[in-house]
A and B are shown apart, each in its own frame.
Chain A
Amino acid sequence: MFLAGVFLIHVWAIVVVLNEVPAWWLQLDTWDVIGAVSYPLVVALIESIVVFGVVTGLAAAVPHSWLRSKFVATTTGIVYLAAAWAAVGHFNDQLVQAMSIRQLAPWAGVFVVSQVAVVWAIHRSRRLESVIEGVVYRLAVPATLYVAVDIAALAVVIARNVGMS
């Protein structure tokens, strides 16, 4: 499940960052561009750990049959649906920023209901569960690669800030 989260978070981060790279090339040298790419990757690693921690904590907090009995499928479903909502938020950022906490509250309710629906659907459908598990297993290899890239990015960030740059 951790690697499934890693994959999603990193694909998003890499696509957004690569979009910026041409502009960075105009004014930064190669080492600086590597640095500028590295910071978001380190944040993506932290984000992956935070998401994993939150979902694992949630699974531990609720009754065993809700999440832990089908841990990989249910938690992956939760994370991927949350990602879809997060993406909607990104593409409507100005609208979201303009909304008050009170205006956002109903959307938070819809978010929770959609999450419950996904967990319920996974519990009801063996086929859905196996599809999700199949996807997770296939993502494990590229996600592991991303973690390796993150570690390299972390090394770059450390190097830049201890005077090796």
Chain B
Amino acid sequence: MTMMARLSRRSVLKLLLSLPFIDAALVAANQIDKPISDPRVPNFLIIVFDALSAAHLPLHGYPRSTMPHLSAFADQATVFHAHRSAGSFTTPGTASMLTGAYPWSHRALHIQGTVSQGFADRSLFRLLQLRGYHTMAYTHNLVTSSLLYQFADAIEQLSPIREVALADLNLAEHVVPRDLTVAAHSEGVLTRRGDAPSSSLFLYHLTELWNRFALQEPHQRYTDDYPRGLPGGHNLFFLLETAIDWTMQQLTSMPEPFAAYLHYLPPHDPYNPRREFVGLFDDDWHPPRKPLHPLGDAHPREFLDGLRRQYDEHIAYVDSEFGRLAEFLRSSGLSDTTYVFVTSDHGELFERGIWQHITPVLYEPVIKVPLVVGVPGQRERVDIRVPTSGVDLMPTILQLAGATQPAWCEGQVLPVSGNLEPPADRDIFSMDAKSSSKDGPLHRRTVALIKDNHKLVHFAGYDGYDDVYEMYDLEHDPEEMNDIYSSRVETASELTGILRAKWAEVAAQEAQ
């Protein structure tokens, strides 16, 4: 006899009557929200340009005109001038935006890393989905893919990388998407992502040869337009133009209200912009000279200055495409119903002998990222200068969506849409712990604390640079040239105390 057959009419009636109470109990237990029924609720569009440093934007005082379209967009938006990513590279920075938690909590600490199991169901996507939003995500970045696939149950429209690629030579996402992260680690060994040889003695060479032939046609077709090579990275080649066209197409047909997360790889290296941007910044301007850092790579200045110029050109290319997207949002009317967040997961460094962002240092160019929020109906620019963090993105969006803030959230609601400014003395953190264990204590780490105009950086566990503090006055020394940790004893002592107290909290959390 089946279960249904055993149920009497009375018990079915009881069950039906108790359903609303069960639902209410579930909502209360999980702190989730009831789905919205108001059709006027706003949409959310989060646009992430990977590795876009705020230090390279005219909006924040950079002398090269790298992003005029973003500046124009900012004229009718809210601009956050002291916004920091919670991490110095994609994994921690992105995970913090999408969970509202710092890396020490969500534990997405490594390249191709994922959040801890406890956070797999704590994403912005899940909370907005429960609120009735149509959730959508796309990324060019395989590292971000690992996170998005971890949140995939809450993303109704998760498009594969290949969707807008000219050529995608990675296999993990297509062959074994259920096991993407682990397979991507293996693929990294097979396809020689790094300096070590491939684990495949023969097939590696054959596939490389095959790839050469496969890429010959697109390379030839686009060589005039992209003289430095096709934009891409990580065995992926694409045009940002195509991705923006595709985005516009998706936004046109997306059910509302929607929450879309679009994570484009440019201006991440390789810096291969369209021809019209090559040589755009062949000028006489030189960045301030800074001393080498003991944990840096000692790249020569000329090398770094050349790469900086190429990076700036690549940003200008990104900006031209952003301009098209912004115009589309305006002309389609979406900007009247959609909060548009333009930001980045981390910045990029061209100083102190260091290039890129895979580095233990946390200087401003690598953690300070843009955050420009286009608010429906906003006609004048609002400038917010207090320190804010990537962890604030989720609570801000949840508040705008009328959802409850979850208990795990470590961010604060940002002052968009007429809210109050967050308190000026708030503590903001950024960190790197890629050499520490995901599940154990973070023995090797760099943690930055930003409070008011001061920044304290603590290096722990590095050979020859263990338990070292650096401190900078960001108001009077925005280039972080003078380490004042030893000279401003009182401030140093206060900030060190705050950082130690925070770390004691983290250690207690780890011990649990």
- Check if B110 is an interface residue, CB within 8 A of chain A: yes
Give the CA-CA distance A86 to B202 in the complex, in Å.
6
- Is A19 in contact with B201, judged by CB distance below 8 angstroms? no
The contact size tier of chain A is: 35 or more
B185→A28 contact, CB < 8 A: yes
Of the candidates A13, A37, A82, A163, the one whose C-beta lies within 8 Å of that of B200 is A13
User: A47 contacts B203, CB within 8 Å?
Assistant: yes
Minimum distance in angstroms from B20 CB to a CB of chain A: 33
Chain B residues within 8 Å of A20, by CB: 185, 188-189, 196
Stretch at the interface among B60-68, B73-81, B431-439: B431-439
* Chain A positions within 8 Å of B439 at CB level: 29
B198 within 8 A of A: yes
For the complex, give the distance between the alpha carbons of A20 and B195 in Å.
11
Cβ B189 vs Cβ A16 within 8 A = yes
Q: Mark B212-244, 1 if CB is under 8 A from A, else 0.
A: 100000000000000000000000000000000
B178 at the interface (CB under 8 A from A): yes
Q: How far is the CB of B504 from chain A (nearest CB, A)?
A: 23
Tell me if B128 is interfacial: C-beta within 8 Å of chain A.
no
Smallest Cβ-Cβ distance to B213: which chain A residue: A101
Query: For B188, what are the chain A residues with a Cβ–Cβ distance below 8 Å?
Result: 20
**Roughly how many angstroms separate A116 CA and B326 CA in the complex, as a whole number?**
63
Contact status A43-B203, CB under 8 Å: yes
Q: Are A93 and B179 in contact (CB under 8 A)?
A: no
Q: Is the CB of A28 within 8 A of B201?
A: no
Instruction: Tell me the minimal C-beta distance from A116 to chain B in angstroms.
Output: 19
CB pair B185 A16 closer than 8 Å: no
Contacts of A83 in B (CB 8 A): 201-202
Determine if B182 is an interface residue (Cβ-Cβ < 8 Å).
Answer: yes
B399 CB-CB contact with A under 8 Å: no
* Mask: chain A, 22-45; 1 = CB below 8 Å from B; 0 = not: 001111110010011111100110
Shortest C-beta distance, A129 to chain B (Å), equals: 24
Main SS at interface, chain B: loop
| Interface pair A26/B436, CB less than 8 Å apart | yes
- Could you tell me if B113 and A27 are in contact, using CB atoms closer than 8 angstroms? yes
Residue A125 at the chain B interface, CB threshold 8 Å: no
B186 within 8 A of A: yes
B202 touches A47 (CB 8 A): yes
Q: Does A72 contact B (CB under 8 A)?
A: no
Q: Is the CB of A8 within 8 A of B201?
A: yes
Residue A138 is within 8 A (CB to CB) of chain B in the complex: no
Residues of B within 8 A of A96 (CB): 208
Q: Are B182 and A36 in contact (CB under 8 A)?
A: yes
Closest beta carbon of chain B to A115's beta carbon, Å: 14
Number of cross-chain contacts by CB at 8 Å:
105
* CB < 8 Å neighbour of B202 from A51, A93, A97, A157: A51
Docked pose: A19 CA to B198 CA in angstroms: 11
Tell whether, in the assembled complex, residue A47 and residue B179 are in contact, meaning their CB atoms are under 8 Å apart. no
Q: Is B176 an interface residue (CB 8 A)?
A: yes
CA distance A91 to B112 in the complex (A): 25
CB-defined contacts of A27 to chain B, threshold 8 Å: 109-110, 112-114, 437-438
The answer, yes or no, to whether B190 is at the interface (CB within 8 Å) is yes
Question: Would A40 and B199 count as touching, CB distance under 8 A?
Answer: yes
Q: Residue of A at shortest CB range from B177?
A: A161
CA distance A50 to B189 in the complex (A): 20
Is B183's CB within 8 Å of the partner chain A? yes
**Does the CB pair B436–A16 fall under 8 Å?**
no
**Which residue of the partner chain B has the closest CB to A26?**
B437
How far is A12 from B212 in the complex, measured between Cα atoms in Å? 24
Chain B neighbourhood of A51, CB < 8 A: 202
Say whether A47 contacts B201, CB under 8 Å.
yes
Min CB distance, B1 to chain A, in Å?
A: 30
User: Does A17 sit within 8 A of B, measured CB to CB?
Assistant: yes
Of all chain B residues, the one with the shortest Cβ separation from A14 is B199
- B199 A43 Cβ-Cβ under 8 A: yes
B229 to chain A: closest CB distance in Å?
13
Q: Which B residues are CB-close (under 8 A) to A64?
A: none
The 8 A-B residue pairs with the shortest CB-CB distance, nearest first, are A39-B186, A90-B197, A16-B199, A27-B110, A35-B182, A40-B199, A13-B199, A27-B438
Name A's B-contacting residues (CB within 8 A).
8-9, 12-13, 16-17, 19-20, 24-29, 32, 35-40, 43-44, 46-47, 50-51, 82-83, 86-87, 89-91, 93, 96-97, 101, 157, 160-161, 163, 165
26 A-B pairs with CB atoms under 8 Å apart are A9-B201, A13-B199, A13-B200, A16-B197, A17-B189, A19-B196, A25-B437, A26-B437, A27-B110, A27-B112, A27-B113, A28-B185, A32-B181, A35-B186, A39-B182, A39-B183, A39-B186, A43-B190, A43-B199, A47-B200, A86-B202, A87-B197, A93-B192, A93-B197, A96-B208, A160-B182
